[in-house]
Structure 1
Amino acid sequence: MAPHTAEADDLDDGLEYKVEISEDEGALIDSTNEENEKDQEDATTITPENPKKRKSESSLNFKEKKKMKMELDTEQKKNISTESNTEVITDFINSKINRKNSNLSALELSELYFTKDAIRSTSEYSKPRTLDNLSDYITQRFKNMLPGKESKKNKKTKKKGSKGKEEESESAPAEDRKFIAIVSMSAIRACDIHRATKDLNGSSIKLINKNKLDVDLKILKTTRSRILCCTPGRLQKILINDDPVLTKDEIKIIIVDNSYLDQKKQNIWDIKETVEVLKSLTKDGSKIYLY
């Protein structure tokens, strides 16, 4: 048998062997390595998006979020009137005050905030909060504050005059002056409230800026009605007038026309004067009911 001839691959002599590569083979290897490195970079590098596309998507997301926020706010405005927990109602009102007065300090805001003691729930009234049901709600909840039917006209009494002749005079109403103020966000809405409540005992009167102030003051001096259909601004002007025909302590109940929303989905709490005048009334004992 012929002796086995050792080959280079079989040697294990601990020596390093220099392998020479031709220029063509080296170029091929370098090219392959560059392509591999480029592929790795492409795999890990994120291609920048189109700035216009990114801005457009961001704008769309903002509009969607704004729309969702408006829808949520609208639902809260509609449903808060039926809330049974006065703390939830108070938090809703105070959050509106906070957003409207972001420039005020915490101390200043605290002067505007309402307490839960000033709020009364109307959740026991299960009917829809519409104009058609407003008189029914007032009759059910505040019938004791309305003048009696027998008192619709002031009674005529006779007394002797300075010359000994009998003269007729009108006697003052027997009822105490305790008023229910229904505050609405606009004069037009206050007129709608008046039409919806004028058939109640004693009827109702409307107090709006379109009326002459002296006419409203004259009516308040002689009216037997206990329902005031007003805007916050007009009510405020009457209360601070030099001729005190209506005092804060005479307004025992404030019914806030809360469920009504205008075309911009705003309600009574979006009116600046609302918080100011209602806060001053609650300090004198008035209670707020959301309708």
Structure 2
Amino acid sequence: MSDSDSEGGVPLIEAAFDPTSTSKKRKAEAEPEASKDNKKAAKKAKRKEKKKQKAKEIDEDDLDQELGVNHSFERMDGQLLADYVNARTRLYGKDLSSVELEDKFISARTVQDSTSWSEPRTTDNLSAFIKRHSSTLKATPSKPAGAPHTIVVTASGIRAADVCRSLKSGLPKQGTKDLNVAKLFAKHLKLADQVAHLKKNKIDFGVGTPDRLSALLDEKALSVANLKRVLVDVSYIDQKKRGILDMKDLHEALLKFLLRKEFVGEERQGGDGLFLFY
């Protein structure tokens, strides 16, 4: 049995005779001109939306498995990035109402434009990228503790560990030395230990996964007192060509983190230029 048969779909072969065709014709002839204009406008809007949606699709050729990078994000400005993220939110939230979906959308004004960066978005280039898009990377004050100027959000603990190593080796080459990079992910690291560490020590960079970063904010261990940017490691893809936006649970955890009131406020009015997508 085909899918169409089992789910009441459209039959592969249509009936040769349509008994309703005459009535349909009469209805069309009697249809007011204004109604026809409305239908034309609706069709035009639908085509426009379909074209817009198509523009957000990722080209398979942009998925560079050798470098582990999705190059498509290199061409997206703040508006296109917000549109793409929101399109993924809409895809994963098909069971949500339009109002519920809007509460999960990010605003283009919160996303910094990084299209001027022409190098591949690999870990080797990460430190230089951050330096280019930062007014300053000076060490944070000793107090309050646990208050980095930069938070980096990654797809996994393994990826976060790679990013930490990259920053520790790459930042000194950019003239930024003696910075504290904290591992803020769950893999082999207990939440209680991280809370204790953050409450006692100053950090400059916090690198972790969305769920653990949210938990540390909930525990009041991670502070946003010195925060200048939240960098989303969006270009990285794994061996299955999946990035942080390509898995529903991870995407939802990321959006929940980015839309916290600490970043954009309860009324979603703040956070201008806070998010930097790499």
| TM, length-normalised to structure 2 | 0.64
Paired residue for 2:86, among 84, 94, 103?
Answer: 94
Paired residue for 1:186, among 142, 145, 156?
Answer: 156
Q: CA deviation at 1:219?
A: 2.1
Cα deviation, 1:204-258, whole Å, max 9, x if unaligned, reads 11111121112211222233331111000110111112xx122345433111111
> Contact 1:179 / 1:251 at 8 angstroms: preserved in 2?
yes
Correspondence for 1:165: none
Paired residue for 1:246, among 203, 211, 222?
Answer: 222
Correspondence for 2:257: 277
Q: Does 1:212 align with 2:182?
A: no
Paired residue for 1:75, among 48, 62, 68?
Answer: 62
Task: Report the residue type matching 2:120 in the other structure.
Answer: P
Structure 1: distance between partners of 2:62 and 2:151: 25
Q: CA deviation at 1:83?
A: 2.8
Structure 1: distance between partners of 2:60 and 2:277: 16
Q: What residue ranges of structure 2 are gaps of 5+ in the alignment?
A: 1-11, 13-55, 64-68, 172-176
Correspondence for 1:5: none
Q: Does 1:135 align with 2:127?
A: yes
Q: Give the direction of change, closer, same or farther, for the CA distance of 1:73–1:120 in structure 2 (3 Å limit).
A: farther
Correspondence for 2:174: none
Q: CA deviation at 1:173?
A: 5.5
Cα deviation, 1:68-120, whole Å, max 9, x if unaligned, reads x9963673882343235321111111001000111100000000001111111
Q: Which deviates more, 115-124 or 176-185?
A: 176-185
Percent of aligned pairs with the same residue? 25
Paired residue for 1:255, among 226, 231, 244?
Answer: 231
Structure 1: distance between partners of 2:109 and 2:124: 29
- Describe the SS at the equivalent of 2:90: helix
Larger Rg: 1
Paired residue for 1:226, among 194, 204, 209?
Answer: 204
Correspondence for 2:31: none
Structure 2: distance between partners of 1:217 and 1:136: 30
Cα deviation, 1:101-143, whole Å, max 9, x if unaligned, reads 1110000000000111111111122211111111112223226
> Contact 2:160 / 2:207 at 8 angstroms: preserved in 1?
yes
Tell me how many residue pairs correspond in the alignment: 200
Q: Give the direction of change, closer, same or farther, for the CA distance of 1:268–1:74 in structure 2 (3 Å limit).
A: farther
Q: CA deviation at 1:179?
A: 2.2
If asked which structure has higher relative contact order (CA below 8 Å, sep 6+), I would say 2
Q: What residue ranges of structure 1 are gaps of 5+ in the alignment?
A: 1-57, 59-68, 152-171
- Describe the SS at the equivalent of 1:124: coil
Correspondence for 1:264: 240
Task: Report the residue type matching 2:241 in the other structure.
Answer: K
Structure 2: distance between partners of 1:115 and 1:129: 23
Q: Does 1:107 align with 2:87?
A: no
> Contact 2:184 / 2:213 at 8 angstroms: preserved in 1?
yes
> Contact 1:197 / 1:203 at 8 angstroms: preserved in 2?
no
> Contact 2:147 / 2:224 at 8 angstroms: preserved in 1?
no
| TM, length-normalised to structure 1 | 0.61
Paired residue for 1:197, among 159, 167, 173?
Answer: 167
CA-based RMSD of the aligned residues comes to 2.9
